[in-house]
Structure 1
C-alpha cells in the first residue's frame, strides 16, 4: 500500500531567494509538506511562504542541533533542503549527519571533497549536487558520458568559460566546475580559476544577453572550444532565467531521496544524475 502521508520538508535558507523559491515549490507540490521551522545563520524571524509562516532559527543564537532533532521528532520522515551560504556548507553537512537526517544540498561552494567524503563515510542519506535544474543536469550528464566514451577527443583545443549570475552570487558556479571537469577529461587543460565570472550589469545585458528583468535571478553559461590553429570552434550554452527550474528539480530530489530512505537502499549518497537516471523528475 502506498503511503499517502506527505513528506515533511525543512528548507534551510528559506529567507534567501533560492530557498524561498524551493519552499514555494514544496507548498505547491502534492505529497509534500513545508514544515514551519527552518535554520538560518545570522538571521531570525518569520518568512511567509504561500500562506505557511516559517520561523527561522538563527544557529548563531540557538542550538541548531536541538532545533533539528525536535523537528525530526515532530515530523517523522523529515528531509532537509539546504540553500544557505557557501561558507555554511560543511558545518551544515556535519550537523545533518550528526542528527541523522536525510538532506538535499543545493548550496554551492564549501569544501566539496570533504563534504562528499564525510557524508559517504557516515552512511547518511543525501543528494548533493551543484545543479538542480533538470535539463541542465541532462546536459551535464551528456558531457560526462561523452568524456567517458571519448577521452582526449578535444586534446589541443583551447577552452574558455564565461558564466553570468546575479551579483549576489559571489562564488564560481558549481555547474561550470562540473562541466569543466568533463572538458578536461576530453583533453582540455583548464583550471577552474580561469572561469570568467560576469557580475556587472553592463556586461550581463550587453555581452551575455541577459534580459533586464532577470538580472536578479539568472544563470548564463558559455563554453567555447577553439582548435590550435583557430580554424575550428565549438560552443555550448545553457541560459536560465529565474529560479523555478532549480526549485522544481530540488523537490524532485526530495521525492527521490524519500524513496531511497524508505527502501533502505544500500547506496546512500546520490547526485542529480542519479535522480535523472531513475526518471524521478516531474
Structure 2
C-alpha cells in the first residue's frame, strides 16, 4: 500500500507534536517525511518522532522551511498567520498541497490562500474537529427554523495562551448562522458590550470570549427566545481531535486537483468548492 507523504511545519510545538502522533497512528497509509521549526528552536536537529514521544522516525527537525515543500507532499500548517503566508508561497512554488489550521489570518491573508488554491489543492478550515464541523451544519439548521424569533449569541472559551479572539471556530459558527439567515456577519456581529448599550437588536449576532487556564476549546451557540432557549455546544477535551481531523484532511487532499476546500468536503457535506 502506498503512503501519503506528510510534512509538519512548527513540528515541536504543542499542535505539531500531536500532528506527528496522529500521523504515526495512521502509519498504514501516512508517513512523516519532513518536519521544520524556526531556526532558534532548541529542537533543531532532533528526531521529530522522539520530540513528539512516538519513538525515532528518522526525520530530523530542520530550520529550513523550504525543505518541507515538494511535489507529492502534503504540508500541515498550524503555525502563525505570517508564517503560514510565507509557507503558502513555498507551497505554490514547489507545488505542494497544504492543510491549513492557522487561525487569526486577516482578510488579505484569506484572499492569498484563495489565490494559491488556483494552482495547488488546499484544505483551509477554522477547526478540524469532526464534531465542530457537524455543529456548523446544526447551527445553520437551527437558525433557519427559528429565524427572527430568537436572539443569537456565540460563547467561546480557550486557554490563556490563545492570541486571537474571537476564535476562528466561533467566527465559523457565526458565518454559518448569518448565511442561513441571509445576513452579512461583518454588519451584524457584536464583539463586546459595555456600559449603557440599549435594548438588544435582534438582527445582531453577539460574541463573548473567555480566556483562562488550559481550556482546549468550548463553543456554544445560544438561540434565546421568549419562554425557551436552545443551546448547541461542542467541547474539546484534547487537541488530538484537531490533529486527527487534519491528518484525515491531508489523506483526502493528496488526491485532489487545485482548489480550496474545507472539512465540509472531507466529511461529504459539500461537493463544490468555496
Q: TM-score range with shorter-chain normalisation?
A: 0.7 to 0.9
Deviations 1:2-21 (CA, angstroms, capped at 9, x unpaired) = xx221111111111111111
Aligned residue in 1 for 2:255: 259
1:180 aligned residue = 174
For residues 50-107 of structure 1, give each alpha carbon's deviation from its aligned partner in whole angstroms, at most 9, with x where no partner exists: 113543333xxx5x33x245xx3xxx62111111123423222222122211011112
Distance 2:110 2:178 in 1: 18
Distance in 2 between residues matched to 1:88 and 1:42, nearest whole Å: 14
Alignment partner of 1:13 out of 10, 13, 18: 10
Separation in 2, partners of 1:161, 1:95: 36
> Contact 1:36/1:53 (CA < 8 Å) preserved in 2?
no
Residue equivalent to 1:90 = 85
Change (3 A) 1:142 1:166: same
Q: Which residue of 2 aligns with 1:275?
A: 266
C-alpha change, 1:36 and 1:270, in structure 2 (3 Å) is: closer
The CA distance in 1 between the partners of 2:209 and 2:59, in whole Å, is 34
The Cα shift of 1:134 comes to: 1.2
Greater Cα shift, 187-196 or 22-31: 187-196
Distance change (3 Å), C-alpha of 1:259 and 1:184? same
Give the Cα separation in 2 of the matches to 1:18 and 1:276: 22
Q: Is the 8 A contact 2:135 2:232 kept in 1?
A: no
Does residue 1:164 correspond to 2:191, yes or no? no
Counterparts of 1:100 and 1:193 in 2: how far apart (Å)? 39
Q: Could you tell me how far apart the structure 2 residues matched to 1:135 and 1:84 are?
A: 22
CA distance in structure 2 between the partners assigned to 1:146 and 1:98 by the alignment = 43
Correspondence 1:106-121 to 2 at 5 A: 106-111=101-106, 112-120=109-117
Answer whether contact 2:151 2:224 (CA < 8 A) is retained.
yes
Contact 1:141 1:273 in 2 (8 A): no
Number of the residue aligned with 2:242: 246
Count how many residue pairs are aligned between Structure 1 and Structure 2: 241
- Does the Cα contact within 8 Å between 2:249 and 2:266 map onto a contact in 1? yes
Cα pair 2:170 2:219 within 8 Å, conserved: yes
Measured after TM superposition, the shift of residue 139 of structure 1 is: 1.9
- Measure, in 2, the Cα distance between the counterparts of 1:164 and 1:136: 14
Unmatched segments (≥5 aa) in structure 1: 202-214
Distance 1:146 1:275 in 2: 23
Structure 1, residues 88-133: CA drift from partner, whole Å, max 9, x if none? 232222221222110111121212532332223x321111111111
**Cα RMSD (Å):** 2.7
1:142, distance to aligned residue in structure 2 (A): 3.5
Q: Secondary structure at the match of 1:130?
A: coil
| 1:131 correspondence with 2:127 | yes
Q: TM-score, normalised by structure 2?
A: 0.77
